[in-house]
Amino acid sequence: MNKKYYQLSSDLTICRIVNGMWQVAGGHGQIDHELAMADMLRYHDAGFTTWDLADIYGPAENFIGEFRRRLSKAKGKEELDKIQSFTKWVPQPSRITRSMVNSSIETSIRRMDVSSLDLLQFHWWEYNNPYYMDALKYLSDLRDKGSIKHLGLTNFDTDHLQIITDSGVPIASNQVQYSIIDRRPEVKMIPFCRKHNISLLTYGSICGGLLSERYVGKPEPSITDLNTLSLQKYKKMIDTWGNWNLFQRLLLVLDNIAKKHRASIANVATNYILSKATVAGVIIGARLGIIDHIDDNSNVFNFNLDDSDLESIDQVCENANNLYEIIGDCGEEYR
* CB distance 287 to 29 below 8 Å: yes
pLDDT at 34 over 60: yes
Domain boundaries, the chain: 12-208+265-305
Mean per-residue pLDDT over the chain, rounded: 93
The pLDDT score that the predictor gives to residue 29 is 57
pLDDT at 16 over 70: yes
pLDDT at 2 over 80: no
Rounded average pLDDT over 290-298:
84
Is beta strand 84-89 parallel, antiparallel or unpaired with respect to 12-15? unpaired
pLDDT at 287 over 80: no
Rounded average pLDDT over 125-134:
92
Banded pLDDT at 1 (limits 50, 70, 90): very low
Banded pLDDT at 58 (limits 50, 70, 90): confident
The share of the chain scoring above pLDDT 90, in percent, equals: 83
Please give the distance of CA 56 from its chain centroid, rounded to a whole number.
15
Q: Which CATH number is 12-208+265-305's, of 3.90.1720.10, 3.40.50.2300, 3.20.20.100, 3.10.28.10?
A: 3.20.20.100
* CB distance 157 to 192 below 8 Å: no
Rounded average pLDDT over 196-208:
96
The pLDDT score that the predictor gives to residue 25 is 67
pLDDT at 84 over 70: yes
pLDDT at 172 over 90: yes
Rounded average pLDDT over 187-216:
97
Q: Angle 68-69-72 (CA atoms, 0-180°, nearest 5)?
A: 80
Rounded average pLDDT over 45-63:
92
The pLDDT score that the predictor gives to residue 56 is 85
Q: Residue 70 contacts by C-beta under 8 Å, 6 or more apart in sequence?
A: 37, 41
Q: pLDDT for 88-122, tens place per residue?
A: 999 988 999 999 999 999 999 999 999 999 999 99
Q: pLDDT for 256-274, tens place per residue?
A: 999 999 999 999 999 999 9
pLDDT at 226 over 70: yes
For 46-108, give the DSSP string: TT--EEE--TTSTTHHHHHHHHHHHHHHHH-HHHHTT-EEEEEE---SS---HHHHHHHHHHH
